[in-house]
Structure 1
Amino acid sequence: MKKGTFENTSGFAQISLLILIFVFCALLCIILLRLQMPLTSGMREADILRITLIIQDLIIFILAPLLTQFLLWKESTKKALQLTVPYFPVLLWGLIAITSVSPLIDLLNTWNQGLHLPESMKGMEQWMISSEKAAEVTTNTLLNTDNWGGFIVNILIIAVMAGIGEELMFRGVLQKILINWTRSIHWGVLCAAIIFSAIHFQFFGFLPRMILGMVLGYLYVWSKSIWVPIAAHTLNNALTVTLTSSTFNKGDKLIETVSGTPNNLGYIIIGTAIFAFSMWRIWRFHQVQSALNK
C-alpha cells in the first residue's frame, strides 16, 4: 500500500484501521512472547516482566502507530506526528506543568479509590478490585529492586519506552484522528484521554489518569511537537518509579519520606497555580505561533 492510502476516509474508518492494526500487533506480540518462553525459563519473574514490557512497547505502542500514520497521512512521518524539535522554553514549561500538577493528581487518585459502585453492580466492583490488586502485585514485582542496575532498567522501560510509545499511539495518532473527526480540539483531547485511561484497566485510578491524558493532549496541541508530551510523560513515570516505596526494597529514607507525605492543601494549591501558569505560557506560545502562520 502507498503512504496515505486511507487519508480521505471517514473518522470511523480511520479509527477502525487503528484498532485493526492494534489487534494485529497485539497478536504478533503474543506470538513472540510465546516463542521466547523457553529462553526465559529459569529467569526471575521481574526480568520476565521487563522483557514482556519491552516487546509490548516496541510492537504495540511504537510499531502500531507508525504503521497507522503511514497508511493514514501522505505527509512525512516527521510532519504527521510532529516530530519537530520543540522550542526549549515550551519544553521546560511542559516539564514544570507535569511536575506541579502531581499534588492535584494524587488528591484525585485518593478520591477515585474511595468510590463505590451501586449495590446492583457489586459483582462488577469485585472484579474491578481484583483487577486492581493483580495490577498492583505485578507493578510491585517489577519495581521491587535493591540495586541501581534494576532501577535504571525500570526507568528505561517504564518511563522512556512507555513515554515514547504511549504518546505516539494516543496523542500522535489517536488524538489526531479524533480531532479531525470531531472537528474539535477539546473533544479530541478528551476522548483520547478517556481511551488512554481506560486501556490501562486500573479503574480506581481512572479519573487522575484521564486528567493526566488531557494535560499531555494539550501539551501536544499547543507545543506543536510530540517531544513535549513524551518528555512530560517520561518525567511523570520516572518520578512514579523513583518515589514508589518498593523501588528500593532495602528502604531509602528520602523516598520513604516523600512517598509517605499525605495530601497537603497548601501543596495542592501552590502546585495547581504553578501548573495553570505553565499551561498558560504554553497556550500563549501556541496563540503567537498560530497568528504568525496566518
Structure 2
Amino acid sequence: MIETPDLPTRRFSPFASLLILFGLMVVLGSIAQIAIVYPLVKFLTGADFAAGAADFIAHPQDYPHSWLATMLMQAITSVFSFILTAYLFWYLTEKRNIVFVEKGSTDPLIWAMIVVLVIGYIPLNSLIFEWNQLLPLPQWMVDSEKQLETLTKFLTQFPSFGHFMLGLLVIGLIPALGEELLFRATLQRLFERWWGSPHVAVWLSAAIFSAYHVQFMGFFPRMILGALFGYLYVWTRNLWVPIFAHFVNNGFVVVMIYLRHRQITELDVESNEAMPLPYALVSAALTIGVLRLIYQRSQGVIPQS
C-alpha cells in the first residue's frame, strides 16, 4: 500500500525543528532510563544503575542476570530514543504520521541486491576501519571505545539459541527500525527540505548517525554505511529498503558471531584486522556495481544484458 504524505499544517525553522527533535530524544530517553531501565536493572541484578552505571557497564559479568538486563536496557532505550522520538516529532511538527512508502512498489530484485551489497561491502569496510584506527585520537576516546568493545563482546555471548534470537532482535532488528526512522525518515528528510540537496542531507545525517554511536575508531566506516542507507532511501523512497539493509548488516554480524561460537565457521567478524587488499578491491567494485544497478532499477531503468 502506497502512502501519500499529507501537507503539513505548520513548519518550524531548522533550528527549532532540531531543538524539538533532540529535546524529545533527551526527554524520552531520560523517562525510559528513570522510569523503566533503572528499576528493571535493580530488580534483575541488584545493581544501583543510577549510582553505579560506570562499574556495571565496565564489569557486567560481575552481576547476576546482567546479560538479560543489558539487552532489555538496549531495547527499551532504542524504542524510546529512536522510534517514539521519530513518531512524536512528526506528530508535533507535521501533524501526520511517518510515511514509509512514497511511490510505487519497489522492484523485487532490489531486495536481493541489498543482501549482496551489504555483505559484499564487508571487505572494503574492514579496510576503511583499519585506516580509521590509525588516526590519532584523544585518549578518552580510545578508553571509551575499549569499554564499549568489552560490553559488545559481553552482549554477543550467546550460550543458547534463545539468547541468539533475543540478540538478533535487540542488536539486529530494533536498531535497524529505530535508527532508520530517526536518521533517515526524520533527520535526512529535514536536511533535504532545508538545503534542497539530497547529497548534503545524506552525508550530514550519516555523519550525525555515526557520531551518535560515540565509537570514533569506527567513525568513517559507519558514516559511509549510513550514507549507503541514505542513498537507498533517496532512490527508492521506501523506508523499508534502508531498514532491511540495516537489519541485514546488523543481523549478519550477529549470525556470524553465533556460528563462530558454535564452531560452525572460523570467520571472525569481530576482528579489527583488514581483509587482504585484493578482497577489498573486489568488494569496492562489487559495491559500486550493485549500487549502480539498484539506482537504475529504482528509477525504472532496466539494464540491458
Q: TM-score, normalised by structure 2?
A: 0.83
1:278 to partner: Cα distance: 1.5
Answer with 257-266 or 227-236: which moved more: 257-266
Of residues 238, 252, 257, the one that matches 2:263 is 252
Alignment equivalent of 1:26, drawn from 24, 29, 34: 29
Q: Please tell me whether residue 225 in structure 1 is matched to residue 235 in structure 2.
A: no
Equivalent runs, 1:10-49 vs 2, <5 Å: 10-31=13-34, 32-41=36-45, 43-49=64-70
* 1:115 paired residue number: 135
Question: Displacement, 1:258?
Answer: 6.6
C-alpha distance in structure 1 between counterparts of 2:261 and 2:184, whole Å: 38
Task: Evaluate the alpha carbon distance shift between residue 93 and residue 256 of structure 1 in structure 2; reply closer, same or farther with a 3 A threshold.
Answer: closer
The 2-side partners of 1:248 and 1:33 are apart by: 30
One-letter code aligned to 2:191: L
In structure 2, stretches of 5+ residues that fail to align are: 1-5, 47-63
Q: CA deviation at 1:52?
A: 0.1
State which of 177, 191, 206 in structure 1 corresponds to 2:190: 177
Native 8 Å contact 1:11 1:181 kept in 2: yes
* Contact 2:183 2:209 survives alignment (8 Å): yes
The CA RMSD measured in Å over matched residues stands at 2.5
Shift in CA distance, 110/40, structure 1 to aligned 2, threshold 3 Å: same
SS at match of 2:141: helix
Partner of 2:89: 68
Contact 1:193 1:214 in 2 (8 A): yes
1:132 and 2:120 correspond = no
Task: Describe the shift of the 1:35–1:6 C-alpha distance in structure 2 as closer, same or farther (beyond 3 A).
Answer: farther
Give the partner amino acid of 2:16.
A
Give the letter for the 2:238 counterpart.
Answer: S
CA-CA distance at 1:73 after TM superposition: 2.6
Q: Tell me by how many angstroms 1:33 deviates.
A: 1.1
Contact 2:120 2:286 (8 Å CA) reproduced: yes
Distance 1:281 1:213 in 2: 19
How many angstroms does 1:7 deviate by? 3.7
> 8 Å contact 2:123–2:280 — kept in the other structure?
yes
CA deviation after TM superposition for structure 1 residue 222, in Å: 0.6
CA distance in 1, matches of 2:240, 2:229: 11
C-alpha offsets along residues 8-52 of structure 1, whole Å, 9 cap, x if unaligned?
Answer: 222222112111111111111111212323431354211111010
Number of residue-to-residue matches in the alignment:
277
What is the aligned-residue identity percentage? 30
Q: 1:105–1:262: structure 2 CA closer, same or farther, 3 Å change rule?
A: closer
Partner of 1:268: 280
1:256: Cα distance to partner?
Answer: 4.2
CA deviations over 1:193-232 (Å, ceiling 9, x no partner): 0000000000100010000000000011111101111111
Structure 1 residue 146: Cα displacement: 2.5
Flag structure 1 segments of 5+ consecutive residues without an equivalent: 118-124, 290-294
Alignment-derived partner of residue 277 in structure 1: 289
The aligned runs of 1:145-184 (5 Å cut-off) are 145-184=158-197
1:86 to 106, 119, 125: 106
AA aligned to 1:136 is E
CA distance in 2, matches of 1:269, 1:82: 35
Question: Which residue of the partner structure matches residue 79 of structure 2?
Answer: 58
Matched residues in 1 for 2:109 and 2:12: separation? 37
> 2:259·2:265 contact (CA, 8 Å) conserved in 1?
no
Residues 170 and 27 of structure 1: is their aligned pair in 2 closer, same or farther, counting only changes over 3 Å?
Answer: same
- 3-state SS of 2:265 partner: helix
Q: Deviations over 1:55-97 (max 9, x none)?
A: 1121111111011122233454335x75986332222222222
Normalising by structure 1, we get a TM-score of 0.86
Higher-RCO chain (CA-CA 8 Å, sequence separation at least 6): 1
- How far apart are 1:251 and its partner, in Å? 5.2
Which position in structure 1 is the counterpart of 2:51?
none
Q: What amino acid sits opposite 1:29 in the alignment? A: A
